[in-house]
């Protein structure tokens, strides 16, 4: 069994905490995990990319080969398109937030980005920010996406919930609950 | 599974047996698996694994200047210092020190002194930092190292956050210093421990060379018991530390004499395993490149048969193993990250005749990072394809200054102050403010290396280009801008230095600057900049008009002037709030 995830977005969108949550949940279920992150200059409002590899054997490469990812989990619609070459053409699924983050002049028209995404064979597109607001924490859009992807990943939702509790425990019960709720709403959005 | 090193565990005495466990809660399987996951086998980044390996090896002192992708080594060590003080760093009984320094040279020299004192010492830096520290590095190879000295250098192939992609293995070779190159975080941990042992055994510095993907990728690491830290013990013979010519000649002779032994060590090292199963293609991998090879190895074997393989994780080059591989195969493919170091050396080790493939022959790209797909292509396996965007071509999203960043306001004022001059020069430096090169700022015309802004502005001004401005951050100024400013004062050069003082090293994630903002003005005065031409102003758009007027006045001044533009980094504020 192997399950490769491309996590992408724009610097500051909380991609690293999502990567940690999924990795911890996978490890708690006995899977081997390899993560690759990009730090430094590109974190300043640039495109941010993390590779997360889950497997029953130790994955070899820290980065995912082209055409191999089972899931692209994207916090921004244009960024989801950028990494399509890494997605498995038949079985890969894109789970993406739909709110564009236009911090450069060359950003294409939103309709064009959305029509590319809509044409994909397997996709779940959702307004993660709006769902997060409904759940009571506008900042937890990333956990909404994890919720929406939950039934695709080879990990039990309970393990993810446990990892969310562990990761946010330091920040108090309120933050934990808000993230758990966002995760729950995300699951409902793709039930 | 590796055997556990139980050497650091306390003995259980007969008197303790049977243990009284009546008051303890039951340990469930779940608890145990949690404990396993957290303690003995945590996922760690390569950088974190090196930090932990050093502490478990009995580290006494670590020194560094921030630089991507090496920064997290020192950040992790400083976290460990705190945990150790609270008694929360398992098995590490002795306190140790982990310090940021003004630059890589000072960091290296501190590590050297710490080794002189008999303690296990580490210095870490990015690849270009080793250029700054090249003087102590190359000379320290001639010293009889006392406490183990480990030099960690993080190369950045692909230049994710750097101005070049130089390969530190060449510098290790140049200095005749042995070098480890880990393939994954587990090896990073194990090699760090071994590097200290080796350094003390051969009485020489030892390098650990990593690349970006290893520094910043996480996987499981199994650790073993921590060693106790050694006591203060000066070198028995200090003449081997005094590099005056007579001593240096003798030491150089001894260092060269040690090379055959290192050579032999390399060919028998378990870090350099040789497998001669196949006879057609022989593959040589080094460090992280092994992982990209392994990603494709099974498929290659299924399609084309067995393959002979030599992996190199320890240098000098394992010449005997290389000859065996070469003799056993029809052709050789070298897969390595960085420059074609092994590939070039190879051509000098084996007799010409057989085909050697790699970067120089184009099977592997000369530039940039490796990937599983590039290695796949070099192996002649079919290309993998994912999906493609149909009509759009996603435009790049270049990094940019944070919303509300003080640098943006500083550039706004500088550009306006310069707008009436038909000719001017703005030379900048390494840091977040390098992003002033991009729209909408388009404010700078050069960035080369740490501290160069002031030297280049001075050189341009010296031959008559005016007005000339150097733009440099506070951390970079202390790193190596200060000595250039001394030149400017000495020659009374007509130039203006803009120090963008945000009281942090911003680009690498807001590490503290070596001296606080409040010390900057006295330093400027102390080296002799005229007090009337040291202006400390607030970098904020509310003060725009005033700031423009002040910069304009200093541009017109005959002689060196310094405008310090002060406002705290937003990233640092955020970090402080989180903590």
Dihedral Cα A132, A136, A140, A141, nearest 10 deg:
10
Please check whether residues B49 and B141 belong to one and the same domain: yes
> CA-CA distance, B300 to B302, in Å (whole number)?
5
Residue B167 has pLDDT above 50, yes or no: yes
Closest chain B C-alpha to A136 CA, distance in angstroms? 21
Among B37, B390, B508, the residue with its CB nearest the CB of A27 is B37
Q: Which residue of A has its CA nearest to B34?
A: A28
Same domain, B178 and B127: yes
Structurally, how many domains does chain A consist of? 1
User: Do the beta carbons of residue B230 and residue B60 sit within 8 Å?
Assistant: yes
Q: Which pLDDT value is given to residue B358? A: 97
E-state strands within B396-555: 425-427, 468-473, 495-501, 504-505, 511-512, 534-538
A35:B69 CB<8 A: no
Indicate the number of domains in chain B. 3
Q: How far apart are CA B1 and CA B3, in angstroms?
A: 7
B199: closest CA among B172, B226, B224, B222?
Answer: B172
User: Which is more confidently placed, B512 or A44?
Assistant: B512
pLDDT exceeds cutoff 90 at B30: no
Instruction: State whether residue B216 sits within 8 Å of chain A by CB.
Output: yes
Query: Distances in Å between the alpha carbon of B502 and those of B75, B513, B545?
Result: 20, 9, 20
**A-chain residues near B394 (CB < 8 A):** 78-79, 81-82, 108
Q: Mind listing the pLDDT tens digit for each residue in B46-62?
A: 999 999 999 999 999 99
| Residue B257: pLDDT over 80 | yes
d(CA A178, CA A180): 6
Indicate if B106 and B229 belong to the same structural domain.
Answer: yes
The DSSP-derived string for A61-129 is: -SSPPTT-BSEEEESSHHHHHHTGGGB-TTT-EEEEE------STTPPPHHHHHHHHHTSSSEEEE-HH
* Tokens, residue B296: 């494709």
* Separation of alpha carbons B196 and B58, rounded Å: 9
- Work out the pLDDT band at B4, boundaries 50, 70, 90: very low
In this structure, are B98 and B161 located in the same domain?
yes
The pLDDT of B466-484, averaged and rounded, is 97
- Within 10 angstroms of residue A174's Cβ, the number of other Cβ atoms is 11
Do residues B365 and B414 share a domain?
Answer: no
Between chain A and chain B, the number of residue pairs with CB atoms below 8 A apart is 165
- Residues B369 and B229 grouped into a single domain: no
Q: Which of A167-176, B34-43, B445-454, B547-556 has the lowest mean pLDDT?
A: B34-43
Contact B399 A41 (CB under 8 A): yes
Measured between CB atoms, which of B161, B217, B387 is closest to A35?
B217
pLDDT given for residue A41 in this prediction: 61
Alpha-carbon torsion (A73, B295, B4, B188), positive or negative: negative
CA separation for the pair B431, B474 (Å, rounded): 10
Whether residue B261 is found in the same domain as residue B279: no
A44, A63, A108 member nearest B401 (Cβ): A44
Residues near B442 by Cβ (< 8 Å), separated by ≥ 6?
B436
The SS3 call for residue B114 is helix
Residue B26 pLDDT? 43
User: Are B375 and B296 within 8 A, CB to CB?
Assistant: yes
Q: Whole domain around residue B363: which residue ranges? A: 274-378
Chain B closest-CA separation from residue A144 CA (Å): 23
Through-space distance between the first and last CA atoms of chain B, rounded to whole angstroms: 38
Q: At B18, is the pLDDT very low, low, confident or very high (cuts 50, 70, 90)?
A: very low
Among B248, B265, B282, where does a domain finish?
A: B265
CB contact, 8 Å: B442 with chain A?
no
Question: Looking at residue B295, what is its pLDDT?
Answer: 97
CA end-to-end distance (rounded Å), chain A:
24
pLDDT more than 70, % of chain B? 93
The pLDDT value given to residue A43: 64
Considering only alpha carbons, which residue of chain A is nearest residue B36?
A28
Interface test with A, best of B387, B404, B507 (most A CBs within 10 A): B387
**Taking CB atoms and an 8 Å cutoff, what residues of chain A touch B439?**
105
For chain B, positions 57-86, list CB contacts with chain A under 8 A. 68-69, 71-72
- Restricting to B residues 12-41, those with a Cβ less than 8 Å away from any Cβ of A are 33-34, 37
Would the CB atoms of B396 and A34 count as touching at under 8 Å? no
Shortest distance between the Cα of A107 and any Cα of chain B, in A, equals 7
Does residue B16 fall inside a structural domain? no
Residues B160 and B305 in one domain: no
| pLDDT mean over B557-576 | 94
Contact indicator for B89, B52 with CB cutoff of 8 Å: no
CATH number for position B452: 3.40.50.970
pLDDT tens digits, one per residue of B299-355: 999 999 999 999 999 999 999 999 999 999 999 999 999 999 999 999 889 988 999
| Domain of residue B285, CATH code | 3.40.50.920
Q: Which pair of structure tokens corresponds to residue A133?
A: 């607001």
Residues B66-91 have a mean pLDDT of 95
Residue A143 near residue A18 (C-beta atoms within 8 A): yes
Test A34 with B160 for CB contact under 8 angstroms.
Answer: no
> What pLDDT shows up at residue A17?
80
Q: Are B308 and B330 in contact (CB under 8 A)?
A: no
pLDDT in tens, B540-565: 999 999 999 999 999 999 999 999 99
Is residue A161 left, alpha or beta, with left meaning phi > 0 and alpha meaning psi from -120 to 50? alpha
As a residue count, chain A comes to 191
Two tokens at A64?
């995912």
Note down the domain range covering A124.
2-189
A105 neighbourhood in chain B, CB within 8 Å: 439
Do B444 and B363 share a structural domain?
A: no
* pLDDT tens per residue, range A110-128: 999 999 999 999 999 999 9
Ranges B84-88, B439-443, B475-479, B505-509: which has the least confidence: B505-509
Percent residues over pLDDT 90 in chain B: 86
Residue B126's nearest CA partner among B170, B80, B159 is B159
Task: Say if B3 is an interface residue toward chain A (CB within 8 Å).
Answer: no
B301 touching chain A per CB within 8 A: no
Q: pLDDT tens-digit profile of B122-157?
A: 999 999 999 999 999 999 999 999 999 999 999 999
> How close, in Å, is residue B429 to chain A by CA atoms?
14
User: Strands, DSSP E only, in B330-481?
Assistant: 331-335, 355-357, 425-427, 468-473
> Residue B219 and residue A62: Cβ atoms within 8 Å?
yes
| B80-89 average pLDDT score | 95
* pLDDT band at residue A170 under the 50/70/90 scheme: confident
Answer whether residue B12 shows pLDDT above 80.
Answer: no
Check if the beta carbon of residue A81 is closer than 8 Å to that of residue A116.
yes
Looking at the structure, do residues B521 and B542 belong to the same domain, yes or no?
yes
Distance of alpha carbon A34 from alpha carbon A54, whole angstroms: 7
pLDDT of B371 strictly over 50: yes
Chain A CB contacts of B37 below 8 Å: 27-28
B18: three-class secondary structure by DSSP: coil
Residue B133 or B576, more confident: B133
In the predicted model, what is the mean pLDDT of residues B344-370? 95
Considering the domain architecture, whether residues B198 and B230 belong to the same structural domain is answered as: yes
Judge: B397–A69 Cβ closer than 8 Å, yes or no. Answer: no
Name the band, by pLDDT with cuts 50, 70 and 90, for residue B7: very low
pLDDT band at B219 (very low <50, low <70, confident <90, very high): very high
Within a domain: B534: yes
Q: In 3-state terms, what secondary structure has residue B313?
A: coil
**pLDDT at site B41:** 62
Distance from CA of B330 to the nearest CA of A (A): 27
Q: Give the closest-approach CA distance of B468 to chain A in angstroms.
A: 27
pLDDT of residue A40: 60
Q: What is the CATH number of the domain that holds A90?
A: 3.40.920.10
pLDDT for position A191: 85
Residue A130, C-beta contacts closer than 8 angstroms, at least 6 positions apart: none
Which strands sit side by side in the sheet containing B217-222, from one edge to the other?
A123-126, A93-97, A71-74, A2-10, A47-55, A32-36, B217-222, B41-45
> Which of B155, B170, B291, B361 is closest to A61 using CA atoms?
B291
Of B265, B288, B304, which residue is a domain's last? B265
Q: Residue B470 corresponds to which tokens in the numbers above?
A: 């150097």
Tell me the chain B residues in contact with residue A28 when contact means C-beta distances shorter than 8 Å: 33-34, 37
Answer yes or no: is pLDDT of B3 > 60.
no
B90 near A CB under 8 A: no
Predicted confidence (pLDDT) at residue B31 exceeds the cutoff of 50 = no
Specify if B383 maps to a domain: no
**Cβ separation B216–A37 shorter than 8 A:** yes
Q: Do B202 and B54 belong to one domain?
A: yes
Question: Which positions in chain A touch B372 (Cβ < 8 Å)?
Answer: 60-61, 63-65
């Amino acid at each position: 069994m192997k399950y490769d995830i491309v996590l992408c977005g724009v610097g500051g969108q909380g991609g690293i905490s999502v990567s940690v949550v999924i990795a911890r949940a996978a490890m708690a279920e006995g899977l081997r995990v390899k993560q690759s992150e990009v730090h430094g200059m590109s974190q300043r409002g640039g495109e941010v990319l993390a590779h997360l590899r889950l497997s029953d054997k130790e994955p070899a490469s820290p980065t995912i080969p082209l055409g191999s990812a089972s899931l692209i989990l994207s916090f921004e619609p244009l960024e989801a398109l950028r990494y399509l070459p890494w997605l498995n053409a038949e079985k890969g699924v894109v789970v993406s937030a739909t709110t564009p983050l236009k911090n450069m002049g060359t950003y294409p028209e939103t309709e064009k980005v959305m029509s590319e995404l809509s044409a994909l064979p397997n996709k779940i597109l959702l307004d993660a920010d709006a769902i997060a607001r409904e759940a009571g924490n506008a900042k937890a859009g990333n956990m909404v996406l994890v919720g929406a992807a939950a039934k695709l990943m080879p990990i039990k939702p309970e393990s993810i919930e446990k990892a969310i509790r562990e990761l946010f425990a330091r920040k108090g019960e309120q933050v934990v609950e808000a993230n758990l709720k966002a995760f729950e709403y995300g699951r409902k959005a793709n039930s | 599974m590796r055997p556990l090193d139980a050497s650091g565990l306390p003995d259980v005495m007969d008197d303790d047996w049977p243990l009284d466990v009546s008051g303890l809660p039951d340990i469930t399987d779940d608890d145990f698996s949690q404990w396993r996951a957290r303690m003995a086998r945590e996922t760690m980044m390569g950088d974190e694994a090196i930090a932990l390996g050093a502490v478990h090896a009995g580290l006494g002192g670590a020194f560094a200047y921030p630089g991507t992708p090496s920064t997290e080594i020192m950040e992790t060590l400083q976290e460990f210092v705190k945990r150790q003080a609270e008694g929360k760093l398992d098995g590490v009984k002795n306190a140790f020190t982990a310090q940021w320094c003004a630059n890589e040279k000072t960091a290296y020299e501190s590590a050297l002194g710490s080794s002189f004192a008999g303690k296990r010492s580490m210095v870490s830096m990015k690849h270009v930092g080793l250029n700054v520290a090249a003087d102590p590095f190359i000379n320290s190879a001639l010293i009889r190292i006392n406490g183990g000295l480990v030099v960690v250098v993080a190369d950045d192939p692909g230049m994710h956050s750097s101005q070049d992609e130089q390969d530190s293995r060449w510098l290790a070779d140049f200095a005749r210093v042995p070098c480890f190159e880990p393939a994954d975080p587990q090896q990073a941990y194990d090699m760090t421990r071994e590097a200290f042992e080796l350094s003390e055994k051969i009485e020489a510095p030892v390098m650990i060379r990593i690349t970006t993907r290893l520094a910043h990728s996480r996987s499981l690491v199994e650790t073993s018991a921590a060693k106790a830290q050694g006591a203060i013990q000066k070198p028995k013979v200090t003449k081997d530390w005094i590099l005056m010519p007579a001593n240096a000649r003798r030491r150089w002779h001894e260092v060269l004499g040690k090379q055959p032994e290192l050579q032999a060590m390399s060919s028998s090292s378990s870090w350099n395993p040789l497998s001669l199963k196949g006879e057609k293609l022989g593959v040589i991998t080094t460090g992280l490149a092994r992982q990209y090879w392994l990603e494709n190895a099974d498929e290659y074997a299924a399609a084309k048969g067995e393959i002979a393989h030599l992996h190199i994780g320890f240098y000098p080059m394992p010449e005997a193993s290389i000859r065996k591989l070469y003799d056993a195969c029809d052709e050789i493919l070298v897969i390595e990250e960085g420059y074609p170091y092994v590939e070039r050396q190879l051509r000098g080790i084996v007799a010409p005749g057989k085909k050697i493939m790699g970067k120089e022959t184009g099977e592997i790209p000369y530039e940039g990072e490796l990937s599983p797909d590039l290695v796949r292509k070099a192996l002649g396996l079919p290309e993998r394809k994912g999906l493609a965007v149909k009509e759009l071509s996603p435009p790049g999203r270049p990094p940019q200054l944070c919303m509300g960043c003080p640098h943006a306001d500083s550039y706004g004022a500088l550009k306006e102050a310069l707008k009436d001059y038909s000719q001017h020069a703005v030379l900048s430096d390494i840091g977040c403010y390098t992003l002033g090169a991009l729209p909408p700022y388009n404010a700078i015309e050069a960035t080369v290396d740490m501290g160069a802004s002031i030297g280049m502005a001075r050189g341009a001004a010296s031959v008559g280009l005016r007005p000339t401005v150097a733009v440099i951050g506070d951390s970079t100024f202390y790193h190596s801008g200060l000595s250039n400013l001394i030149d400017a004062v000495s020659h009374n050069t007509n130039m203006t230095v803009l120090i963008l003082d945000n009281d942090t090293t911003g680009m690498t994630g807001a590490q503290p600057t070596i001296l606080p903002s409040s010390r900057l003005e006295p330093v400027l005065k102390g080296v002799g900049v005229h007090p009337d031409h040291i202006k400390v102003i607030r970098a904020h758009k509310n003060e725009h008009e005033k700031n423009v007027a002040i910069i304009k006045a200093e541009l017109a001044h005959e002689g060196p002037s310094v405008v310090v533009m002060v406002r705290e980094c937003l990233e640092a504020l955020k970090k402080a709030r989180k903590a």
